[in-house]
Amino acid sequence: MGTTRYFDLTAKALAVAAITITMTASAWAAGREKVLLSFQGSNGGNPTAGLIADAQGDLYGVAADAGEFGFGNVFKLTKNKNGTWTQTVLYSFKGDDAGDGQVPLASLIFDGEGNLYGTTGGGGAHPPISDGTVFKLTPTKSGGTVFEIEH
């Protein structure tokens, strides 16, 4: 009896997944792409990782290069009432000399307190052989962020 129920639930789950995929595919087929942000060098470049969202619907990501110092950045996109998006650079990597890392390549993650964690593909505290960092961004009450190297 338990086996029958398992297959019944699996069939229902597959049907829901098929509907979801079909709905997503039809939205793509309808050409509903909207560019939220264009990178122009000064605001970052080469965004190689996926975005994550917070509870308010803001999006967070990394740009692997360019930005203020040329070593990539962490950014936030906030949706405006008129449907456009505004980018806020949360942190710009300074590169090997600063020891903070460079070239963030992976998606960010949130912890339960709203801190962001990520990694860089290069730089760090041990030049000339520095193969990256693990970093933490902590939001401040004033709307800024505090950058810390975790490892």
pLDDT at 122: 86
**Separation between Cα atoms, residue 59 and residue 138, nearest integer Å:** 16
Sheet holding 73-79, edge to edge: 52-53, 59-63, 73-79, 85-92
Q: Which long-range CB contacts under 8 A does 86-90 form with residues at least 24 apart?
A: 87/37, 87/43, 89/43, 89/44, 90/60, 90/116, 90/137, 90/145
3-34 pLDDT, tens per residue? 444 344 444 444 444 444 444 555 556 667 78
Q: Quick check: 96 and 102 in contact, CB under 8 A?
A: yes
Q: Quick check: 102 and 92 in contact, CB under 8 A?
A: no
Q: Which one of 27-41, 83-97, 136-150 scores highest in mean pLDDT?
A: 83-97
Question: Residue 131: is its pLDDT beyond 90?
Answer: no
Question: Residue 96: is its pLDDT beyond 60?
Answer: yes
Reference 68, options 105, 48, 43, 47; nearest CA is: 43
pLDDT at 10: 44
Query: What residues does each domain of the chain span?
Result: 1-33, 52-149
